[in-house]
Amino acid sequence: MSNKTALVTGASDGIGLEFCNILASRGYNLILVARREAKLNEIAIELSQSQGIQCTVISADLSLPQAAQLLFQNTKDQGLQVDFLINNAGLLHNGPFCELSLAEQETMITVNVLALTALTHLFANDMAARKTGHILNIASLAAWTPIPSQNVYAATKAYVLAFTQALADEMNAAGNGVIISALCPGYTATKMMDNPDQGATLRIPSNMMMLAEDVANQGIAGCLSGKHTIVPGISNKISIAITHLVPKMVLAKMLGRFYRKNMN
Ligand SMILES: NC(=O)c1ccc[n+]([C@@H]2O[C@H](COP(=O)([O-])OP(=O)(O)OC[C@H]3O[C@@H](n4cnc5c(N)ncnc54)[C@H](OP(=O)(O)O)[C@@H]3O)[C@@H](O)[C@H]2O)c1
């Protein structure tokens, strides 16, 4: 069993919940973060009883100003040391850019980009001072190409990927013992694939989706083994290889046609 502690944002559902299940089975104590406190409390009770770990629930809305700083301070006030940070919380809004509300798209940028950057900065400095730690930032296959009808979402994920890859090199050069990785899932069977709150729904056949548990497993294994970029699943690896071969605007045209046909 590990005596280490992991903080997972977006721990109440989907891939984040699977990160928690896997880390708990590896003996990590958990700090569970999301907005739905009651759901987090249920998960905390279940995992602490079944795995004998300690769970701390911190309810936080990462779209609010200073949310990352307050979350960091909350862990300090409780005397919690974070050895593994997983920046997983993320939002998607589907549909034509001008038809989606600007406020919703700004919220998406705040959670997907600003909160992730702030949490990385705060905890990376802490980890570097201790000369050890792991950070896993959740990007997406969408990070590798422009995507019409998901254009702000794809751009936020391109930021996460580029930011994380560059920081991985900085950390490595600094020799400060902090490992940072970007995980790039493709379509994954979670609420995000069928959520009425996020504009239009994209119809994707279930056989094109990975299980959240498999994605989370590969993310944790990749980060713990020091990989800076983790792409789960062979078809996602092939998709990324294609993005290196085909001009970006050709890909954008193809994806734009596909998404307009398969979104409602
Ligand atoms: N599913 C996919 O196909 C896919 C593909 C590529 C990448 N990803 C990425 O994987 C990550 C997890 O996605 P998922 O599919 O597991 O999504 P999900 O099932 O919709 O879960 C999203 C999680 O984020 C939390 N969250 C949302 N808004 C938040 C906010 N303002 N503050 C704090 N927490 C918030 C939610 O909890 P509360 O509602 O309780 O706050 C929930 O726990 C995201 O970054 C997503 O972009 C997903």
Please tell me the distance between residue 190's alpha carbon and the centre of ligand 1 in angstroms.
Answer: 9
pLDDT tens column, 165-182: 999 999 999 999 999 999
Superfamily of domain 5-262 in CATH is NAD(P)-binding Rossmann-like Domain (3.40.50.720)
H or E stretch at 179: strand 178-183
Mutate which of 59, 192, 203 for ligand 1 pocket (most atoms within 8 A of beta carbon): 192
Q: Which of 39, 76, 131, 153 is catalytic?
A: 153
- For residues 170 and 122, the answer to whether their CB atoms sit within 8 Å is no
Q: Which of 4, 28, 76, 157 is catalytic?
A: 157
Lowest mean pLDDT across 69-78, 154-163, 171-180, 204-213: 204-213
Ligand 1 atom closest to residue 153's alpha carbon, by position in its atom list: 47
Whole-number Å distance between alpha carbons of 133 and 5: 10
pLDDT for the residue 1: 57
Is-catalytic flag, 153? yes
Whole-number Å distance between alpha carbons of 50 and 108: 34
- Name residue, tokens 């979350």: 71
Looking at residue 83, the DSSP 8-state letter turns out to be S
Closest residue by CA, ligand 1 atom 2: 188
CB atoms within 10 A of CB 40: 23
pLDDT tens column, 62-117: 999 999 999 999 999 999 999 999 999 999 999 999 999 999 999 999 999 999 99
Please tell me the distance between residue 186's alpha carbon and the centre of ligand 1 in angstroms.
Answer: 14
- Residue range 216-245: mean pLDDT, rounded: 97
Is-catalytic flag, 28? no
Record the pTM. Answer: 0.97
pLDDT for the residue 108: 97
Lowest mean pLDDT across 43-52, 186-195, 220-229, 250-259: 186-195
- Find, among 16, 19, 12, 62, the residue nearest to 40 by Cα: 12
